[in-house]
Structure 1
Amino acid sequence: MSSSAGESSKTIVLISGANQGVGFEIVKKLSEDPNFHILMGTRSLSNGQAAISSLPDGVVVEPIELDVTSDPSIAAAADVVASKYGRLDVLINNAGIGPYAFPAEASTRERFTRIFSTNVTGAACLTDAFIPLLQKSSQPRIIFVSSGVGSLTLTLDPSRAGVDAPAYKASKAAMNMLMATYATKLTEEKWRVNSCTPRLSATAFTKGVGRDPSIGAIIACRLATGEVGGTGGFWDNEGTIAW
């Protein structure tokens, strides 16, 4: 382990898919707290460095190469964190792809396969790889950045406008089940495992539709800091929401 005494005393947070969108807003908010050391998961280190260069002077964020669809990439990231810090305190599963990532002619099978590979399988593989390091934390937290469109209750509500994105919606419902499975598996008192939704936020992911992504990032940050949340909940900025 090669971390400095200062770093080892901080809360170590890894955020996947964090060089843009809501993930980057989470980075910005958490990096304002000097008690946190942020690991920015990014598929491209150059893209991560470019994002970090836009942060205010004096803000320290560490990029870490991470592609959640690649087992070797996940293993390499875990090795880096293990060698430098010996533990992880907070894992935020934010990386994901949505319905706009495909050309109009993409088949149903292609959409489901790619979306589930990233949003569900990728989150599961990343979580499994980091549980040994999270176990070494005194207050381990796992956060799954889900979506309200993954709520069965809200989807079945006839008063709400539907979203024609079955693969994405199903992946977020599956992510919530994934969270619930980990919450029932990690039963030591110290663990906190939750899902949250930033709601529709204006990012490249949504083609600029939605509210300011900095607002969407708030609930993930509150769960990361322990300000809110027991374990096994599905949250937005206003509180818990229906499954």
Structure 2
Amino acid sequence: MKTALITGANKSIGFETARQLLQQGYYVYLGSRDIKKGEEAVSQLKLEGLNNVAPIEIDVDNIESIQAAGVLLTKKIKALDVLINNAGISGTMHPALETDINVFRQVFETNFFGVITVTQTFMDLLKQSAAPRIVNVTSGLGSLTLHNDPNWKYYGVKPASYVSSKAALNAYTILLANNLLNTPFKVNAVDPGYTATDFNHHSGPGTVPDAAARVVKAATLGPDGPTGQFFSDDNAPETGISPW
């Protein structure tokens, strides 16, 4: 049975991603900063008959928490097949000149440095998989190319800290994929789309199941699947591949 670890998975897109992977026969470690919320999420999935799931406490802002999760999982499994870096925060809606530097630091700590720390911590387990997959959940707003296009529907969007963190995450995804070329790894960034969640006060038009399905698709790529791509149905509805 293949195994998956999802950060920030006790609710919303992360939770639905766990559900869909469970439905495909994976054993899922449902990562949550608050272990009680993780346990509640696991209980809900088990009530649905999805039993191959366990909570794991992991706060991506806390290196000790990440390392403890790594030690725990290493004792439980010999290989990790899928890592989904889903945990993230939005920061504020302020533009570049009006965003406090501490907001930038906080958002980057979660959305960028947290992803790097989690990925490096679980790399040894991922290398034991015959077909390891890493999915970095990003945003269509992370496209630098489109931010320079005045005809883009999101042109001039304001949340500078969030946009910058996702652009940085996209860059890391490319570099990590290149680092792992000629190996069984597939490393990709996925924009789940503008989805109605707590993250955006339920302002998005997309649905959580559709958003999670995009993440799951990248997490379950076959051996001929792409690596080092930025998947975004929102930015590129015809091809599904967004410009960086």
TM-score, normalising length from structure 2?
Answer: 0.89
Q: Number of residue pairs matched?
A: 230
Contact 2:81 2:129 in 1 (8 A): yes
Query: Unaligned stretches of 5+ in structure 1?
Result: 1-9
Query: Unaligned stretches of 5+ in structure 2?
Result: none
Counterpart residue number, 2:59: 67
1:95 is aligned, of 68, 87, 93, to 87
Identify which range, 15-24 or 154-163, moves more after superposition. 154-163
Deviation at 1:52, TM superposition (A): 2.3
Contact 1:18 1:95 in 2 (8 A): yes
2:110 is aligned, of 106, 118, 123, to 118
CA distance in 2, matches of 1:66, 1:127: 13
Deviation at 1:100, TM superposition (A): 4.9
Partner SS state of residue 240, structure 1: coil
CA distance in 2, matches of 1:131, 1:188: 16
2:134 is aligned, of 120, 138, 142, to 142
1:195 is aligned, of 189, 199, 202, to 189
Partner SS state of residue 69, structure 2: helix
Counterpart residue number, 1:40: 30
CA distance in 2, matches of 1:223, 1:150: 18
Deviation at 1:177, TM superposition (A): 0.5
Identity of aligned residues (%): 37
CA distance in 2, matches of 1:66, 1:30: 19
Pairs within 5 Å for 1:1-243: 10-34=1-25, 36-55=26-45, 56-60=47-51, 61-100=53-92, 108-159=100-151, 160-161=153-154, 162-210=156-204, 211-226=206-221, 229-237=225-233, 238=237, 239-243=240-244
Contact 1:233 1:240 in 2 (8 A): yes
Contact 2:92 2:159 in 1 (8 A): no
* Matched AA of 1:83: K
Identify which range, 43-52 or 142-151, moves more after superposition. 43-52
RMSD over aligned CA atoms reads 1.8
Deviation at 1:225, TM superposition (A): 1.2
TM-score, normalising length from structure 1?
Answer: 0.90
Q: Closer, same or farther in 2 for the Cα pair 1:81/1:62, shift >3 Å? A: same
CA distance in 1, matches of 2:50, 2:175: 36
CA distance in 1, matches of 2:190, 2:161: 19
CA distance in 1, matches of 2:170, 2:141: 11
